[in-house]
Chain A
């Protein structure tokens, strides 16, 4: 496909078109938007983690001056809905019922029970306090292992709490363990963490003149317009979702956030309605990263060859199933990590509890698996008395190997390279900076798919149009979460059509105006919409080259496009503007809407988990150096180096941005972040208690880009958005374990846990 050999734009450090606009505060995020006559919506939330609703009385709230409407489940045309995530193909068995507003009972503390719309935010807040709800408290269950017990309270009445279960069976683990010289068994845990995006969930909805609904909302998935239409009981064509630039998503805006509430309130009142969730609402009640309980058993030969791995994964799905089975499938496929293991047995379960629904979070379950398998790799190396790097290198997957799910890897796995680069940068483990200090060094490798699970039959569409003055318009339904989804498409078109970035405009994220491009999730936009945009631009390129070849009387292959001109080898040229005018005069199409289809496949065999699940993976390595203060337990991360084979870096600055962001996020995951649910109630309710790393907690980060140019994205790119996080937490955790000489298997590894562990030792 790649006829373009020498890149002029791809791979260049070009600032994004929206960088200045963002840096100067011009960007209008969801909350920066208002309409005349706009009113405000608020949500009444459950006071108990598990309770029957005996009675809801909204009369006092309705009578309050300035209140437009108060809604409960009775007012929602279709209150029980199944979340589908815009995939083009519905697959049974993965979807659970979700309720827009609590009906019959509440399943988690903070579950939305009623909605209010009022003239001002103050009135809406006061009205919320006037709604009376009578509850009968039910026994709750807050531990997924306990929730698996058939006698445990049921979240969905009459149904098992275990909502999905997967298996992987490869080879014969019994035989494998019999051959092993050393067997290592461990349990690990990962905690509830929050996306902590700068922009909480927010949006404005209004009713159009023709009676249809428009919702301008911060979302990673504009295609939820279909479910919104279903909830309202109106045709999909009558709901439009627009996403402005998003102030961070990380998976937290993959599920519906405030869309239903906005749509219902606008629909009932006829007025534009705004909802902005508070930080406390976002932290306490919105979806979180699934906590996991892991059991690992690894069998190895004396020389370090892994012969068998058996793993059990249990995730806490929270009170509604939402995306949990899919997240679990990711964890399951990733459970072994980037290692070649002949005998594998994985059993995984996701279980309902009375916590807020867990959801998508950067790496979608692959990161949790990486936290477990990379700790286990270090533990096994230690037991073997082998250097953890050598042990990894002995077992890294390579091209041609088969993964646990039987998929034969067709392209490069550059883990030896990424490991060496990281180690080279980290250098020797430094001496402690003073007495009462311990230094540790750790590495971890990880992998993460890009593109959605192939049984979803994922597609993306994009449109490219050459204007008559030689400028270009792109229309593509991507949601730009701030990672430069738009900017990369611009850069691709700039390369293909020889148009400078400043002459390219992109219109994105609007279900009524842009071709549907699917979700900005699963590290899929560069891969999917990048390819769709490339295809569209190549078609336009072909049309204008054909025209130019007629004009110059030379073959198309003799022509090159650069600097807004089509040039012949003997120095003749025509400007894009003139060629556009010439094409228009002859009715040659100057636009193309192209669709890119990912590889299509089937759901893997449920009994063995054998079958390809993803289009491809990105692999990489992180190394960390930490220093621990033995008198306070404080950890200082001194250095982070991360290397990933990104195939081709469309823009190295953006790749580095992702690697650095992943590092900062990973430090928080490993060391400080914890929502701390206690009987279903979050103890960390604001950023004063939910501790994310600040600028001074994040050390120097070395971002290392490896390019083997054999990814499935445009120009051989692979996805980077999620994988850059995966190996960071285990690298930091392994560094802490190295410093301490013992492992704390519960996350986060807080100063408190460290100090108590140090005291135990002495």
Chain B
């Protein structure tokens, strides 16, 4: 029996959610990144599992039927938040709850993390899992996009860095190669004069997937906007930057009229679909509302 389960704008076909996971898979729990990378190279069909908060429900729903699981949740070297070379670096295995508690301030990301799921989920879920799961509704994606973050993808043969907005290809799809693991998120320090805001609308106040989310970062000098980033979640096959809306802001001062105009352009840039959480029309209106809210907060 097929059951349609819709996650964000991502359409997942649940075969038949079972009480137990039916897939017969092998499992390993490497203790080091090196070991994990070696296994990933040998077993290209392997799935990485970190907190499992996305993968396990998909396995129960028979959406993913893994044959081999590499559990990276025991790899301590993937769990850290540190400041180095003008960047904040976060290990891909870092739990959402740890990011919230971090003394190193990355406001817009931390705000988003506070609104992800519920306390239990946040204690298991990793930032790497949130990104690699590639849901258009992933709450950490839009903050990282406005921050201009880069992702470090490693394989036994080397590493490459990819800007976060180039990482997502479609619902559930990323540029990760079969032998690669996401190891680190690098966030350039926003610098002086930067202001950020994250706004999320779910179907209730907590434990709700974003119907729309929006992150905004403005760099302002003498009240004039020098740079602007607006990222939108759950309104297209991947999280997107609202580039036209961004342009309307640059070189201007924030005013009610400018906010209104910018929000309307952002709404036009979004390409939402209708799903179990809301219609395309509702999402368009929400983009407008969320962008206005975020910008007004930054006025």
Contact = CB atoms under 8 A, between A and B. Distances in A.
Interface stretch (A121-129, A239-247, A468-476): A121-129
A691 B208 contact: yes
Contact of A634 (B16, B201, B206): B201
Given A634-B201, A689-B276, A755-B285, A121 B6 contact: no
A47 B5 CA distance: 16
A45 interface: yes
Interface string A93-123: 0000000000000000010000000001110
A697 B205 contact: yes
27 contacts: A45-B1, A110-B1, A125-B19, A128-B16, A276-B19, A278-B17, A629-B289, A631-B288, A631-B289, A632-B201, A632-B286, A632-B289, A636-B205, A672-B204, A688-B5, A689-B5, A689-B6, A689-B277, A691-B204, A694-B204, A694-B207, A697-B204, A751-B201, A751-B203, A755-B285, A756-B282, A756-B285
B4 interface: yes
Interface string B202-242: 01111111010000000000000000000000000000000
Contacts of B4: 681, 683
Contact of A694 (B1, B206, B209, B277): B206
A108 B257 CA distance: 53
A161 B282 CA distance: 36
A683 B211 CA distance: 16
B281 interface: yes
Interface string A39-55: 00000010100000000
Given A631-B288, A683-B4, A126 B207 contact: no
A181 to B, nearest CB: 41
B109 to A, nearest CB: 21
Contact of A278 (B7, B18, B22, B209): B18
Q: Which 3 A-B pairs have the closest CB atoms?
A: A631-B289, A752-B282, A280-B17
Interface of A is mostly: loop
Interface string B104-122: 0000000000000010000
A585 B288 CA distance: 84
Interface in A8-60: 45, 47
A122 B22 contact: yes
Interface residues on B, range: 35 or more
B205 A685 contact: no
Nearest to B61: A280
B38 interface: no
A688 B14 CA distance: 14
Given A751-B203, A756-B285, 18 more contacts: A120-B20, A121-B18, A128-B16, A278-B17, A280-B14, A631-B289, A634-B201, A672-B204, A683-B276, A684-B276, A686-B17, A689-B5, A689-B6, A689-B276, A696-B206, A751-B211, A752-B279, A755-B289
B67 interface: no
A297 interface: no
Contacts of A279: 17
A279 B17 CA distance: 9
A284 B3 contact: yes
B292 interface: yes
B163 interface: no
B278 interface: yes
Nearest to A755: B285
Contacts of B208: 691
B3 A280 contact: yes
B253 interface: no
A759 interface: yes
A452 to B, nearest CB: 35
B145 interface: no
Interface string B1-30: 101111100000010111110100000000
Contacts of B41: none
Contacts of A696: 205-206
B268 interface: no
Nearest to B199: A632
